[in-house]
Structure 1
Amino acid sequence: MNSTIWLALGLVLVLEGLGPMLFPQAWRKMIRAMTQLPDPTLRRFGGALVVAGCVIYYMLRSRTGG
């Protein structure tokens, strides 16, 4: 894997870790609320995140000429 993928993975881990590190109670409450959502809603949310990630990847990839 090239360094760009490792950079992206590192940024994802930093962003994912900020919630529980800075706001543990709010993060726990959000996770608890998400467990109550129906499966179709979670699937739509997950799908939207995947599409957003692919769009960002495509935009960065086309901008850097890779």
Structure 2
Amino acid sequence: MNWWWLIGGVLLIEGLMPLIFTQAWRQTFEKLLQLKDGQIRFIGFLSAAVGLFILWLNR
């Protein structure tokens, strides 16, 4: 799979959320701003680990 397709797909999904679910997206973003740095880093770590696992499964 071409990396540009992957990046484009991520941007498409990321862009659809605020487009379709504007109010829910805003509320979620406000909740994220209340999290501590460690909590945000943990969420980032989990996201990266899941992404890496998915890529590993599709090798």
Q: TM-score, normalised by structure 1?
A: 0.82
Which of structure 1's runs of 4+ aligned residues deviate more than 2 A? none
Alpha-carbon separation, structure 1, partners of 2:36 and 2:10: 26
Q: Name the count of aligned residue pairs.
A: 59
Identical aligned residues as a percent: 36
Letter in 1 for 2:9: L
Structure 2 segments unaligned to the other structure (5+ residues): none
Computing the radius of gyration over CA atoms, which structure comes out larger, 1 or 2?
1
Match of 2:22 among 24, 42, 45: 24
Match of 2:32 among 12, 34, 48: 34
Q: Which has the higher contact order (CA 8 A, sep 6+)?
A: 2
Aligned-residue CA RMSD in angstroms? 1.0
Structure 1 segments unaligned to the other structure (5+ residues): 62-66
